Amino acid sequence: MKVLVPWLRELVAVPNDVTTEQLADRLTEFDLKLEEILNSGVSGPLTVGRVLSVQPEEQKNGKVINWCRVDVGPEHNDPATETEPAGRGIVCGAHNFVAGDLVVVSLPGTFLPELGFEITARKTYGHVSDGMICSEAELGLGGGDHSGIIVLPADSAQPGDSGIEVLGLGDDVLDLEVNPDRAYALSMRGVARDVALAYGIEFVDPADREVSADGEAYPVRVDDPACSVFVTRVVEGFDSTRPTPAVIARRVEQAGMRSISLAVDISNYVMLELGQPNHAYDADTLNGAIGVRKAVAGEKITTLDDQERTLTPDDLLIVDDEGPIGIAGIMGGARTEISDSTTRIVIEAAHFDPPTIARGSRRHKLVSEASKRFERGVDPQLPARAAQRVAELMVELGGGTILPGLTVVGQAPAARNVTIDQDLPTRVLGIDISAETVVAALEGNGIVVDHDPASGQIVATPPSWRFDINDPYDLVEEVLRVVGYDQVPSVLPKAPGGRGLTRAQELRRRAGIALASFGLTEVTSLPFVGEADFDKLGLDADDARRDAVVLANPLSSEQPSLTTTLLIGLLRSTALNVSRGHDDIALFEVARVFTPKHGGEAPIYGVEQRPTQAQYAALNEALPIQPHHASWVMLGNAVKAGIGTDALAYVWSDALAVAHDLARVLNIELTVESARYAPFHPGRCAALLLNGEVVGHAGELDPRISQAHGLPGRVMAGEINLAALIEAAPAVGEKPNFSAFPVAKEDFAFVAPSDVTAGALSDLIAGAHEFVESVRLFDIYTGDQVEAGKKSLAYKVRLRASDRTLSDADIKTAREAILAQAETLGAVLR
Amino acid sequence: MSAPNSDYDPVEVTPLNAAEVERMRDEALAAVANTATVAELKQARLDHAGDRAPLALANREIGALPPQAKKEAGQRVGQARGAINQAIAKRQIELEAAELEATLAAETVDVTIPSDRQARGSRHPITTIQDHVADIFIAMGWEIGEGPEVEAEWLNFDALNLGPDHPARTMQDTFWLSPERAALVLRTHTSPVQARTMLERKPPIYIAVPGRVYRTDEADATHMPIFHQVEGLAIDEGLTMAHLKGTLDHFAQAVYGPGSTTRFRPSYFPFTEPSAEIDLLCYVCANDPAEVASCGTCRGEGWVEWGGCGVVNPRVLVACGVDPERYSGFAFGMGLDRTITSRYDIADLRDLWDGDIRFTEPFGLGL
């Protein structure tokens, strides 16, 4: 809302010593937040001039310029010469003026922020131009007609008058942010009331005016409940050709609208002043009674902006017998527009249901000054008074008469009241506020208060423009802004002792710290993906990960889904790091992935009471599955070549080690088995299993996938369902269990069929005897020394008893048990 | 006749006279002192303290001496040999130490040679700031709430007093899941966790909720479609807006230091009434009159915008099953991404999301 400060000061007597900045600060304290103070910034001798002579001169380039003599008042004029009267010589390229017109001249020394420099006398087109005749654009005046220079209405000023004053260029405009619960502040009336309250000064409501009424004005039929009040007034004998008085045109433009014609300017002016959008129809173009109804599908209207719009049955229309003459509350139609020849005017002022207007405005992508106000709500008591004000201004400025009739269809809703305890503000705010202060604050907001000191009850009846006040706490807010938000003391509440992080929160944090301490750098990725991303990952057409949650309104149609795998984002980041010259890269991410349930819709409940447990469960049931995953990617060297150190490249097993180590920090154990799973190398991928369930994969990427992502060399990666790990993590770790008796170290070198896995044999050894404390594979060999189809696997085994030193016989027993178990896989000692 | 001849004056034995013993001792001590290595010392030990050393040989002569002379010579030789052995032992320690010193000196390295055999990882600042914030509230006895990022429309909007036509509902540009009738959204704020907590637990409730939220903003230097918030909710008997201010001041001090404070400006949020914007005393200039005018962080305001807050609207309590007659509460929320970018002078929000390791590395394992 743009608030012209001089206009505001006209409506309410702000003390003279209050600066615009102070006023803005005070309004911000009153919940009318300042966005910015607008001021043209024009300074210097901007002066009204009268064009004395215009001499067109054609230039070599074919352009015609005007060499003008302009009377800029005795103070600024050069003295008369033999050939020229007193004035200044100015070159002007515009042609929309003639000798005798009043114009605005930037004399040398004038600073125009729009141009960014100070005007000086300069030589141009063979003359010394002693200033510049200004256009609206050059002065930073928005909204107006920008073709050519400004020609002021005749006799509206004198040569030598300050152009800054005449054009209001020195006026401050407050651009205020108006919150949804302060719709009343979309008017000078509303802002002025808050100013009066803020400074404790008297306020005279400009909407308090007599409404004359004798019979009907123009017939109206309302056929839709979305219109609660509809008022018409008629003015006859109006002269549409009369100019708009400068002050009104200027205020309309300073509020960000265009000055169009006297009738339209008055209509807009009253909307700014009182907050009631209204419309003026050329009565002679209306055909029959005005009606209000919903549109028929496919019905069309050409609106005032010359757009033809196709309507839907949700659109609320103003119609006459011929069809639509306006989209209610949003924009009028072109057919019944006021023209220069209009003499009979029907003024409409109505009240519409805010959601209807809001939806219509969104549907047509059409935001007007009227729709902005209607969708937030307009004082329903205003229409008749606003129509009266419009009619009176029209007659005052354009002549004619107001017909005595007043048509009012419908009525404003009855006032309702809210009851509070006088100490509610104290209880809610934690500030001691007396009952007197509460009552005064409410009354200052226009609320009618019935206070019973005996019971402490306050019955508050909000005024018609405060339809947002419905609850006791709404009243508390009104008290607070009068008392002052800075009066709220600072008291630290004593929370009951908490239980710290939940187990899941603690373990998720621990997992992140662990992954970083493994040498991986954390990244965060955008979760938006598309089919191309799944293709690039080499997922089969029926891969479950292609079944993603799809957005109805994605930012990019290429990436409409939420990701099902963190590898997409991680590989994007990896590629970015490669492109930025990094050779050794190790990244991880912990984030949610999303899998749809393809269930039904999430229910929408009322808010008058809590949903039942079953209803709440139904909400959760409709949500996609969205567990936290952890994922990692490594390429290049794990250890760089250095002094005394050979480079150690990341290999497939490093990707598995991350998974195992991550599990270990969560006190759980994973098992692995060979797997074929995109985007991994078909021979170098492990499924990660937790209690027999696959919870992730790790290994080396399929080199084709690495290449498709622009990644050099071998790339290791993994992804695991972290939520599943955390859920499986024991509440208490395993009890330490170790023996202090001496260890016996035994080595075994087996020859086994090639298809026996190291892990399977290792597991057998580990379980072969109770003395086996640990098993460690230290060599695998295939080649000349081993027959074809076989391989050698060498293990270091540590044996220990819990209750004694092992005897030779004990060790022999254990060795034999190990050999027997190994043999079940066809493994024999070498 | 054959009784000992006590008057017998023996022939003086040269090796045992005092001067000769002294000479042999001094010669031995000089030899020991002159050794430069443990090996030389070993030789000197053989020469001067071994079985065939001059003093060892002299010692054998003692037995032939008459008693008085035997005693004196024994003492003389014994003292001399003791002195030599002591000198050898002392020299042994000296030489061993010197040789170790030399060995260690030879092993001297260039300590500026880097070692990077242990790969160094780091955590993203947006993760660690969430941990940091969580710890602050945990220390106050609060708990950490969390909830899904794809959220039911009812919990994201309706339960928080944002009805179907509420203007605020259009102010927040929401990602909707397809089909829209599924009534699922990417949560636009962490506030649905407020509703979830009230629906799942009984007061008193003191929770902080750090987490990801989504709006349909195209990514640019100052906007991202995802960002992070921390939300606070307290529901208890007798809570007032003063407790809200106290909590925020405490939080500000925990994050920005002891001098930090907050102030309220009136605002509007559907889920709180009254509502306020939270301004934080500028953590760079502290609104110091000498510095504020030139402060780039607060642009001369002395305060920076921090978040929004208010007293929980009783309508929200009712929708979530909390008796507004008995309980009251407050809520607040602020963005975390901008806390990072403003404190670390990061001009482009996209840097948080691109994954360049040079962005994250300086943060190490925590802020």
Reported ipTM:
0.86
pLDDT of B68 reads 83
The CA distance from B272 to A56, in Å, is 67
Q: What is the pLDDT of residue B355?
A: 93
Alpha-carbon span A107 to A48, nearest angstrom:
10
How close does chain B come to A465, measured CA to CA in Å? 17
Q: What percent of chain A has pLDDT over 70?
A: 99
pLDDT band at A30 (very low <50, low <70, confident <90, very high): very high
Please name the amino acid found at residue A362: R
Q: Are A790 and A713 within 8 A, CB to CB?
A: no
Chain A residues in contact with B226 (beta carbon < 8 A): 526-527
Distance between CA atoms of residues B262 and B303, nearest Å: 8
The alpha-carbon gap from A295 to the nearest alpha carbon of chain B, in Å, equals 21
Residues A198, A381: contact at Cβ < 8 Å? no
Q: Note whether B119 contacts A477, CB cutoff 8 Å.
A: no
Tell me if B144 and A501 make a contact (CB, 8 A cut-off): yes
- What does A290-316 look like in DSSP terms, one character per residue? EEEEEPPTT-EEEBTTS-EEE--TT-E
Give A690→chain B minimum CA distance, Å.
24
- Which helix H or strand E contains B35, and what residues bound it? none
Average pLDDT over residues A799-818: 95
Distance CA A828, CA A242 (A): 113
Residues in chain B with CB shorter than 8 Å from the CB of A33 are 265-267, 277
Report the gap between the CA of B341 and the closest CA in chain A (Å).
15
When mean pLDDT is compared over A25-34, A36-45, A698-707, B14-23, the highest value belongs to: A698-707
Q: Is the CB of B265 less than 8 angstroms away from the CB of A28?
A: yes
Question: In the predicted model, is pLDDT for residue A93 greater than 60?
Answer: yes
Asked whether the beta carbons of residue A616 and residue B199 sit closer than 8 angstroms, the reply is yes
How confident is the model over A208-221, as a mean pLDDT? 92
Is A476 in contact with B245 (Cβ distance < 8 A)?
A: no
The CA dihedral of A534, A540, A542, A547, to the nearest 10 degrees, is -10
Let me know: does B124 contact B363? Beta carbons within 8 Å. Answer: yes
- Residues in B touching A438 (Cβ below 8 Å): none
**Nearest residue in A to B205, CA atom:** A495
**Nearest residue on chain A to B318, alpha-carbon basis:** A609
For residues A718-723, average pLDDT = 98
pLDDT of res. B1: 44
Best to test chain B binding among A491, A568, A577, A662 (most B CBs inside 10 Å): A491
Q: In this complex, do B242 and A642 lie within 8 Å of one another by their Cβ atoms?
A: no
* Per-residue pLDDT reduced to its tens digit, A250-298: 899 889 888 899 999 999 999 999 999 999 999 999 999 999 999 999 9
Contact A715, A635 (CB under 8 A): yes
Interface test with chain B among A356, A490, A589, A662, by most B beta carbons within 10 Å: A490
Name the minimum distance, in Å, from the CA of B166 to any CA of chain A. Answer: 8
What per-residue confidence (pLDDT) applies to B172? 55
Dihedral angle sign, alpha carbons of residues A497, A495, B136, B268:
positive
Q: Which of A339, A341, A384, A346 is nearest to A235 (CA)?
A: A346
Contact A375 B167 (CB under 8 A): yes
Test B314 with A471 for CB contact under 8 angstroms: yes
Contact A642 B180 (CB under 8 A): no
Q: What is the mean pLDDT of residues A531-544?
A: 96
Asked whether the beta carbons of A526 and A535 are under 8 A apart, the reply is no
B151/A808 Cα distance (integer angstroms): 66
In sequence order, the 6+-apart residues with CB closer than 8 A to the CB of B2 are none
Strand ranges (E), A691-784: 693-701, 715-721, 744-753, 772-781
Question: CB B117 to CB A493 under 8 A?
Answer: no
Selected for mutation to probe chain A from B124, B173, B346 (highest A CB count within 10 Å) is B124
pLDDT at A666 over 90: yes
**Which residue from A495, A516, A639 is facing B141, i.e. has the nearest CB?**
A495
Strands A521-522 and A585-592: parallel
> What confidence tier does B169 reach under pLDDT thresholds 50, 70, 90?
low
In the predicted structure, residue A246 carries a pLDDT above the cut 90: no
- Taking CB atoms and an 8 Å limit, are B268 and A31 in contact across chains? yes
Q: How far is A519 from chain B (nearest CA, A)?
A: 4
Tens digit of each residue's pLDDT (9 = 90 or more) over B241-275: 999 999 999 999 999 999 999 999 999 999 999 99
Residue of B nearest to A372 (CA): B167
Give the lowest-confidence range in A193-207, A730-744, A812-826: A730-744
- Helix, strand, coil percent content, chain B, rounded in steps of 5: 45, 20, 35
pLDDT digits (tens, 9 = 90+) for B267-315: 999 999 999 999 999 999 999 999 999 998 888 889 999 999 999 999 9
d(CA B39, CA B46): 11
Q: Mutate which of A35, A482, A522 to disrupt the B interface (most B C-beta within 10 Å)?
A: A522
Determine whether the interchain pair A495/B140 forms a contact, defined as Cβ–Cβ distance below 8 Å.
yes
pLDDT of residue B344: 87
**b/e burial code for range B240-253 (CB count within 10 A of at least 16 → b):** bbbbbbbbbbbbbe
Test A525 with B158 for CB contact under 8 angstroms.
no
Share of chain B above pLDDT 70, in %: 95
Q: What is the pLDDT of residue A440?
A: 95
List, in sequence order, every residue forming a beta bridge with A320; answer none if it has no partner.
A323
| Phi and psi at residue A619, to the nearest 5° | -60, -45
Q: What is the C-alpha separation between A514 and B22, in angstroms, rounded?
A: 74
Contacts of B354 in chain A (CB under 8 A): 573, 576
pLDDT in tens, A153-177: 777 788 999 988 888 888 899 999 9
- Helices (runs of H) and strands (runs of E) counted in chain A: 21, 44
Residue type for position A596: P
Please tell me which of the candidates A485, A502, A605 has its beta carbon nearest to residue B265.
A485
Which pLDDT score is estimated for A124? 85
- Chain A CB contacts of B131 under 8 Å are 509
Inter-chain residue contact A605 with B154, CB threshold 8 Å: yes
Q: What percent of chain A has pLDDT over 90?
A: 82
Question: Cβ contacts (< 8 Å) between A569 and chain B: which residues?
Answer: 355
Contacts of B165 in chain A (CB under 8 A): 354-355, 358-359
B48-68 residue pLDDT tens: 888 888 888 888 888 888 888
Q: Is the pLDDT of residue A827 over 90?
A: yes
Contact B267 A31 (CB under 8 A): yes
Predicted local distance difference test score (pLDDT) of residue B307 = 95
Q: Which residues of A touch B318 (CB under 8 A)?
A: 607-610
Residue corresponding to tokens 């991404």: B337
Q: How far is B97 from chain A (nearest CA, A)?
A: 29
Q: How many interface pairs between A and B have CB atoms less than 8 angstroms apart?
A: 314
Going by the DSSP 8-state scheme, the letter that residue B203 receives in this structure is S
CB crowding B49-84: b at 16 or more within 10 Å, else e: beeebbbeebbeebeebeeebeeebeebbeebbeeb
Residue in B178, B197, B249 to test binding to A, most A beta-carbons within 10 Å: B178
CA distance B34 to chain A (A): 41
For residues A457 and A419, the answer to whether their CB atoms sit within 8 Å is yes
C-alpha R_g of chain A: 41
B182: nearest CB among A473, A505, A601: A601
Q: Is the pLDDT of residue B11 over 70?
A: no
Chain A residue closest in CA terms to B241 = A429
Residue B168 has pLDDT above 90, yes or no: no
Cross-strand pairs, B288 = none
Average pLDDT over residues B12-36: 86
pLDDT band, very low/low/confident/very high, at B69 (cuts 50, 70, 90): confident
Q: What is the mean pLDDT of residues A423-441?
A: 96
Q: State pTM to two decimals.
A: 0.85
pLDDT digits (tens, 9 = 90+) for A436-450: 999 999 999 999 999
Q: What is the mean pLDDT of chain A?
A: 93
The amino acid sitting at A644 is G
- Euclidean distance between CA atoms A23 and A41, whole angstroms: 19
CA distance A463 to chain B (A): 19
Q: Which of A488, A593, A604, A628 to mutate to test the interface with B (most CBs of B within 10 A)?
A: A488
Q: What is the mean pLDDT of residues A777-791?
A: 91
Interacting residues of B283 by C-beta distance below 8 A, sequence separation 6+ = B256, B257, B260, B297, B304, B343
The DSSP element (H or E) to which A371 belongs, if any, is: helix A369-376
Of the pLDDT bands very low, low, confident and very high (cuts 50, 70, 90), residue A146 is: low
What does the DSSP assignment read for B225-291?
Answer: SEEEEEEEEEEETT--HHHHHHHHHHHHHHHH-TT--EEEEEEEETTEEEEEEEEEE-TTTTT-TTT
Q: Which residue bears the tokens 């070599």?
A: A60
Residues of chain A positioned with their CB less than 8 A from the CB of B177: 549-552, 624
